[in-house]
Structure 1
């Protein structure tokens, strides 16, 4: 065997150690509740939600 043939197993072992360090463990589990973001489709608009009884009567002729 030559020196080059002896160098290959060390390189393979180093690559295996590096692969194990990178892919050896699974990432933390993420709960389904944490994968969903809930927010209103339309932001809060105080003018839209304000009730004006006179405006209602004028608009609908009551």
Structure 2
């Protein structure tokens, strides 16, 4: 083996080690529950949510 072939083989081995370190294992599994974020479409508005149908009936219906 010539010096040039030996240098090329060492470079290939080094490149293979770098490639294996970077791509040698799959990333950790992410659960489907961790992929979804749930939040309300609108902010909570206490004035809008304060409607009481029974109170309305007592005031205006009776």
Fold conserved between structures, TM > 0.5: yes
TM-score of the aligned structures, taking structure 1 as reference length: 0.75
Asked if residue 24 in structure 1 is aligned to residue 5 in structure 2, the reply is no
Give distance in 2, aligned partners of 1:3 and 1:42.
70
| Structure 1 residue runs of 4 or more that deviate by more than 2 Å after TM superposition | none
Alignment correspondent of 1:39: 39
RMSD of Structure 2 on Structure 1 (CA): 2.0
Residue segments in structure 2 that go unaligned for 5+ positions in a row: none
